[in-house]
Structure 1
Amino acid sequence: MSVTGAASPWVSIAGGLSAAGKKTGDFGRLFCVRGKAGGAVRLVNGWKADGAVLEGGGAARGLLEKGVAEEEALNAFKLGRFVEERFVYRQTFVIRSYEIGPDKTATMETLMNLLQETALNHVMSSGLASDGFGATHEMSLRKLIWVVTRINIQVDRYSRWGDIVEIDTWVAASGKNGMRRDWIIRDYGTKEIITRATSNWVIMHRETRRLSKMPEQVREEVRPFYLDRRTILQSDNDSKIDKLNDETAENIRSGLAPRWNDMDVNQHVNNVKYIGWILESVPMKVLEEYHLASMALEYRRECRQSELLESLTSMEPKEEEGPESGEGDLRSTHLLQLQESGSEIVRARAQWCIKEPA
Structure 2
Amino acid sequence: MAFIQTDTFTIRGYETDAFGRLSILALMNLMQESANRNAIDYGIGIDDLARQGYGWMLMRFRLRMHQYPRYGQTIRVITYPTSVEKYFIHRDFRVVADDDTLLADAASTWLVFSIDKRSMVPLPDFIRALAVPADISSLPRLSLKPDFQFSVAEPSHEKEVTVGWFSIDQNQHVNNVSYVEWLLEAVDKKRLETRELAEIDLVYRTETHWGDQLRIRSISEENETIIHRIDYSDESGKDVLLARSQWRIS
TM-score range (shorter-chain normalised) is over 0.9
Aligned 1:169-208 pairs, distance under 5 A: 169-188=79-98, 190-208=99-117
Aligned 1:289-328 pairs, distance under 5 A: 289-318=194-223
- Spell out, residue by residue over 1:268-305, the C-alpha distance to the aligned partner (whole angstroms, 9 max, x if none): 11000001111122111011100000001100001111
2:244 corresponding residue in structure 1: 349
Which protein has greater RCO, CA pairs closer than 8 Å, 6+ apart? 2
What amino acid is aligned across from residue 192 of structure 1 in structure 2? Answer: T
The question of whether the paired residues in 1 share the 8 Å contact of 2:60 and 2:142 is answered with: no
- TM-aligned CA deviation for residue 251 of structure 1: 1.2
Tell me the SS of whatever aligns to 1:273. Answer: helix
Alignment length (residue pairs): 249
The question of whether the paired residues in 2 share the 8 Å contact of 1:155 and 1:294 is answered with: yes
- TM-aligned CA deviation for residue 174 of structure 1: 4.4
Tell me the SS of whatever aligns to 2:171. Answer: coil
The question of whether the paired residues in 2 share the 8 Å contact of 1:183 and 1:231 is answered with: no
Tell me the SS of whatever aligns to 2:150. Answer: coil
> What is the distance in 2 between the residues matched to 1:114 and 1:287?
22
- Whose Rg is larger? 1
> What is the distance in 2 between the residues matched to 1:232 and 1:334?
24
- Structure 2 unmatched ranges of 5 or more: none
2:154 corresponding residue in structure 1: 248
TM-score (norm 2): 0.92
- TM-aligned CA deviation for residue 144 of structure 1: 0.9
2:122 corresponding residue in structure 1: 213
Tell me the SS of whatever aligns to 1:176. Answer: coil
Q: 1:200 to 1:227 in 2, by over 3 A?
A: farther
> What is the distance in 2 between the residues matched to 1:291 and 1:251?
18
2:233 corresponding residue in structure 1: 339
> What is the distance in 2 between the residues matched to 1:234 and 1:195?
17
2:43 corresponding residue in structure 1: 128
2:13 corresponding residue in structure 1: 97
- TM-aligned CA deviation for residue 95 of structure 1: 0.6
1:150 partnered with 2:45: no
The question of whether the paired residues in 2 share the 8 Å contact of 1:94 and 1:164 is answered with: yes
The question of whether the paired residues in 2 share the 8 Å contact of 1:258 and 1:306 is answered with: yes
What amino acid is aligned across from residue 88 of structure 2 in structure 1? Answer: G
The question of whether the paired residues in 1 share the 8 Å contact of 2:203 and 2:241 is answered with: yes
TM-score (norm 1): 0.65
> What is the distance in 2 between the residues matched to 1:270 and 1:127?
22
Specify which of 120, 141, 147 is matched with residue 234 of structure 1.
Answer: 141
The question of whether the paired residues in 1 share the 8 Å contact of 2:16 and 2:23 is answered with: yes
Higher strand share: 2
The question of whether the paired residues in 2 share the 8 Å contact of 1:300 and 1:346 is answered with: yes
2:71 corresponding residue in structure 1: 161
- TM-aligned CA deviation for residue 121 of structure 1: 1.2
The question of whether the paired residues in 2 share the 8 Å contact of 1:128 and 1:136 is answered with: no
What amino acid is aligned across from residue 274 of structure 1 in structure 2? Answer: Y
1:52 corresponding residue in structure 2: none
- TM-aligned CA deviation for residue 176 of structure 1: 2.1
**Cα RMSD for the two superposed structures:** 2.1
> What is the distance in 1 between the residues matched to 2:142 and 2:213?
34
Calculate percent identity across the aligned residue pairs.
26
> What is the distance in 1 between the residues matched to 2:166 and 2:137?
33
- TM-aligned CA deviation for residue 215 of structure 1: 2.2
Tell me the SS of whatever aligns to 2:131. Answer: helix
Aligned 1:37-116 pairs, distance under 5 A: 87-116=3-32
What amino acid is aligned across from residue 216 of structure 1 in structure 2? Answer: D
Tell me the SS of whatever aligns to 1:224. Answer: coil
- TM-aligned CA deviation for residue 107 of structure 1: 0.9
